[in-house]
Amino acid sequence: MNIFYTEVDKNLQLELNARGKTGFQSRSTNAIDFMVGKVANVEITAYQGSSSISGVVINPQAILGGAQTQTGRYLPSGKNGYLADEYVVQDSIDFYTNIDVATNAASAASGFSKYDPNVIVGNAYLKSTVLQDTSRRTGPYITGVDITIGDHSMGLLNKATINFIIPNV
């Protein structure tokens, strides 16, 4: 019997149902350890709208937790490990100046690049800046989740408390 009737993640449903059935099917040390000792891998995803049915994630970088905490910035070594210097590209809005117009005309005349007709003093463009992260810290991670489900066998989510740490502000 499934106790969930609302928008609860399917993976979470399977995990909780498997933990609940463990004590009834087998009382071995491994089964009890699975039920109470296994660390659940929690993931928070921001969907567009009030339902996950749309399947549209607002920003893929806004996903917190999940499988990503076992790779990349959460490991000490490796190319993207938290002990390595990470380079991040930050985009910002900037405006063309007289120097930009002169540089555009000179580089086009010398044959290094094409002439860009959009380079006019005062026009806005997207400027990319490379930043180096030397913080040597992991990314944000979830430390605890407490979910309160309404009684009366309806499986409604009453309250969810999520604790997370942001070590690199």
Structure tokens at 154: 């309806």
DSSP state of 38: P
Range of the structural domain that residue 91 is part of: 86-133
pLDDT, one tens digit per residue, over 104-156 is 888 887 777 778 888 888 888 888 999 887 778 887 888 888 877 776 666 66
pTM score over 0.85: no
In a domain, 117, yes or no: yes
Contact 73, 81 (CB under 8 A): yes
Is there a domain that residue 4 lies in?
no
Is 109 inside any structural domain? yes
Task: Map tokens 């000792």 to a residue.
Answer: 37
Number of structural domains the chain divides into: 1
Q: How far is CA 9 from the centre of its chain?
A: 17
Q: Is residue 113 part of a domain?
A: yes
- Residue 126 covered by a domain: yes
